[in-house]
Amino acid sequence: MGENKTENNAQTTRPVRCEIFHDNFENAKVYNIPRAQMIIADIPFALGDKMYASNPMWYKDGDNKNGESDLAHKAAFDRDYSFNINNFFAFATRLLRKEPGKGEKGAPCVLIFCSFEQMHEVITEAEKHGFKHYTPLIFVKQSSPQVLKANMKVLGACEYGLILYRNKLPKFNNTDETGKHRMIKNWFEFRRDSKDIPRLHPTQKPVNLLEQLITIFTDPGDVVIDPCCGSGSTLYAARELGRSSFGFEVNKEFYGKAKREMLGI
């Protein structure tokens, strides 16, 4: 299920683990994985039968003149209706590292990709579990998936996210290649990966974007967990950066593709 590499620095040598489990994240206890510095989750958007409503896949041969395809009025994911956000935050509470001691920095955080409409629900539920603070994020795409409605309305070309944390500010790395501190804004370009990165999942996040976010909020040797890992792109990005990574995926097909084609394990 996993692959071990080694992260070297001047002080220590740590094994870098990369493991994906064909299971629900709610069963994480049996795998005895270490606590995370960062949990990244692209939670189900609960779009249900609207998942393909503005996507060419909704139509035969991608052309709306040809009528509806077999995907019309169907949910895209097994968990689109069954995802329990309360259980997710209970998981995050158990698996995230504790707050650092007095005078120490480097608190852990949770990053959730979500729809704009979900943000209030996520913030409210997070607070119940002790994640009292948040920073909203915007991911700006180069085009809109709503292209079939281009002559009808203003199109959505952004995705959204939240950085959630308890009391202390999360670990924060904003030093560039020259050693200078740079400003990190709350919006990021959502650029497609090169063809070297396989496209395995309908809502797969770009590795280049995930690498930016992981670099900002973790250090080499830290642990990153993705409880809804889909294509495995989060695990791939973390491994490339020398972070140990663990992921859960309930869909057998996505799990197999992530393991073989994305992670090669």
What would the pLDDT profile of 93-142 be if each residue is shown by its tens digit?
Answer: 999 999 998 888 899 999 999 989 899 999 999 999 999 999 999 999 99
Query: Do 152 and 233 lie in a common domain?
Result: yes
pLDDT of residue 11: 38
Q: Which domain holds residue 109?
A: 2-45+84-263
Single out the residue in 63, 82, 101 at which a domain terminates: 82
> 171 and 115, same structural domain?
yes
Contact 12, 219 (CB under 8 A): no
Q: How far apart are CA 24 and CA 26, in angstroms?
A: 5
The confidence score (pLDDT) of residue 44 equals: 78
| pLDDT exceeds 70 at position 204 | yes
Do residue 141 and residue 223 come from a single domain?
Answer: yes
CA distance 183 to 1: 38
Q: What are phi and psi of 261, to 5 degrees?
A: -90, -35
Please state the φ and ψ torsions of residue 188, each to the nearest 5 degrees: -135, 150
Write the CATH number for 30.
Answer: 3.40.50.150
User: Are both 75 and 115 inside the same structural domain?
Assistant: no
- Quick one: 183 and 252 in the same domain? yes
Tell whether 124 and 60 lie within a shared domain: no
Q: Specify whether 132 is located in the same domain as 201.
A: yes
- For residues 39 and 147, membership in a common domain is answered with yes
Q: Is the same domain home to 195 and 78?
A: no
Question: What CA–CA distance (Å, rounded) separates 18 from 22?
Answer: 14
Single-letter residue type at 44: P
**Tens-place pLDDT, residues 61-79:** 777 777 777 766 665 555 5
* Same domain for 57 and 132: no
Clarify whether residues 71 and 178 are in a common domain. no
Sheet holding 13-21, edge to edge: 2-8, 13-21, 244-248, 223-226, 38-42, 109-114, 158-165, 133-141, 187-190
Question: Are 55 and 125 in the same domain?
Answer: no
Domain boundary residue, one of 66, 82, 98? 82
How many domains would you assign to the chain? 2
Cα–Cα distance for residue pair 102/57, rounded to 1 Å: 53
